[in-house]
Every structure is written in C-alpha cells, then in structure tokens.
C-alpha cells in the first residue's frame, strides 16, 4: 500500500527540539493538509519526511512496509514520494525544460509516465517559457514549475510546502485546479498551507501543528467548525467566503 505512516517522529536541530513526536497517516491517494502558525515546525516535519534534516529524525516513516527513516533522501524519490519545497527552489542555472528533465524518473510498472507535453498542457505558461531560465519566471510560474518538476518523478505522493505563499488570487486558483486534477489521478498530497480555504477545497483531512506537536485532526469540516478550529488553534478568524 502506498500510504505514508509517520510514527512518533522527533527532530532536533542544533539546540532546538523542533518536531516533538508527530504521528500521522496519509492514506493511498488521500490528501491531508497541515496547518499551523509560523515557526511551529511544519517545514521541518516535511524535510524530515524527505530525509533532509541533519541529524536524521527519530521515529518511523513507513512506506509500503519499509521504514525509510534511516534511508538516504534520494530513496524517497525512487519509491514514489516527491517534494515541492517552500520557496520553490528552482535551479537557477537551468532553463524551464532542463529543470523538468533533471527530475525525470521512470514510472512504476503498469502506470503511465508523465510527459513534458502533458505538463505543458497543464501549465501552458511553461511551454511558452521553456528555454528561459527557471528563475526568470514569476512566482506563480515558478510554483507551476516546481509542481511540474515533482510530477516528472512520477510520484504517488507529493509533499507541498505552502504552494500558494505570496501568489496572486488568480494564480492560487490555477494551482488549485491543477492540484485537483493531480488528485483525480490518484496521487496523494500532503500539503502545508496557511490558506485554510485552499486546504479545505483540496484535502480530506486537516491536521494542526502547534510548537512541534499535532494538536488537532478533523475530516470534512463544516464552515462553523472551520471558524472554530481557526480561532482556537491558529488564532485568526476565517471568513466564510473563499476570497
């Protein structure tokens, strides 16, 4: 089963105890949103799942019956977990197309591989700018490129860290549409997001992190529950409309 089980994960960075025993599951093809205020440890949790923290976390990261926690980072890509980091991290010396080609991995046996043409159909702006340097794109286009780059590895689960951060509403909508399409293809999502409505539109379950721990988990929230959860755990009011 391509579900990710995070079990009792702890991360220390320098003197900071950043992730303090987090457990959660992202079921196969499911979408889970992780919300929380600035600095609570969301990015560190994603980096730990991707094997990018030094030292490696304590705990277990189970994927298809295998524990990845002590495995090197590149193995995540190989087994079907991709990462779209906060701030996009586009390779500055490469063109748009080179950014995509460098991430290419074969598809799993029995499933179709994403092609560059399919990605250009999803994001026509990238086709127009295929020979430009990746970092010459707008923030929204760079986010499209970062998502496309993740898809080039033919993942079954994508971890996304604040994909809407700093983007204009029209770009947020565009990214939402594409992520919905990705979901329809059965790819799982684990999404860190500050935009509650965006998270709710896309995901089955919302979990909330405070000071290194998960303090709330809920599915199929109503508008009233959303307001209540946001006020109690995130310290802000959420407007009833998505805009």
Ligand X SMILES: Nc1ncnc2c1ncn2[C@@H]1O[C@H](COP(=O)(O)OP(=O)(O)OP(=O)(O)O)[C@@H](O)[C@H]1O
Binding site residues, ligand X, CB under 6 A: 13-14, 16, 18, 36, 38-44, 86
Which of 5, 86 has the CB closer to ligand X?
Answer: 86
Q: Rounded CA gap, 26 and 203, in Å?
A: 11
Range 81-140, binding Mg ion (CB under 5 A): 86
Q: Which does 14 bind (CB under 5 to 8 A by kind): ligand X, Mg ion, none?
A: ligand X
Q: Which does 221 bind (CB under 5 to 8 A by kind): ligand X, Mg ion, none?
A: none
DSSP letters of 29-57? T-EEEEE--TTSSHHHHHHHHTT-SSSPP
Q: Which does 241 bind (CB under 5 to 8 A by kind): ligand X, Mg ion, none?
A: none
Which of 16, 136 has the CB closer to ligand X?
Answer: 16
Check if the beta carbon of residue 154 is closer than 8 Å to that of residue 213: no
Which of 36, 59 has the CB closer to Mg ion?
Answer: 36
Which of 154, 195 has the CB closer to Mg ion?
Answer: 195
H/E stretch holding 225 reads helix 223-229
Residue 194 within binding range of Mg ion, rule CB under 5 A: no
Query: Which residue, among 211, 212, 236, 190, has the nearest Cα to 8 in the 3D structure?
Result: 212
Residue the block writes with tokens 């199929």: 220
């Amino acid at each position: 089963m391509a579900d990710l089980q995070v079990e009792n994960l702890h991360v220390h960075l320098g003197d900071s105890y950043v992730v303090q025993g987090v457990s959660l599951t992202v079921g196969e093809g499911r979408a889970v949103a992780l919300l929380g205020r600035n600095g609570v440890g969301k990015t560190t949790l994603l980096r730990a799942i991707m094997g990018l923290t030094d030292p490696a976390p304590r705990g277990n990261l189970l994927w298809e019956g295998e524990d990845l926690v002590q495995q090197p980072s590149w193995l995540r890509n190989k087994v079907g977990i991709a990462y779209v980091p906060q701030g996009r991290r586009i390779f500055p010396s490469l063109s748009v197309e080179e950014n995509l080609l460098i991430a290419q991995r074969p598809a799993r046996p029995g499933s179709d591989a994403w092609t560059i043409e399919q990605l250009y159909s999803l994001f026509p702006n990238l086709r127009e700018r295929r020979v430009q340097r990746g970092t010459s794109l707008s923030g929204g286009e760079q986010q499209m490129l970062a998502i496309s780059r993740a898809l080039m590895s033919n993942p079954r689960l994508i971890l996304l860290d604040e994909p809407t951060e700093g983007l204009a509403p029209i770009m947020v909508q565009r990214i939402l549409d594409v992520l919905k399409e990705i979901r329809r293809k059965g790819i799982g999502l684990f999404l860190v997001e500050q935009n509650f409505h965006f998270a709710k539109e896309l995901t089955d379950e919302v979990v909330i992190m405070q000071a290194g721990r998960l303090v709330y988990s809920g599915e199929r929230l109503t508008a009233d529950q959303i307001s209540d959860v946001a006020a109690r755990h995130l310290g802000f009011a959420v407007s009833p409309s998505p805009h």
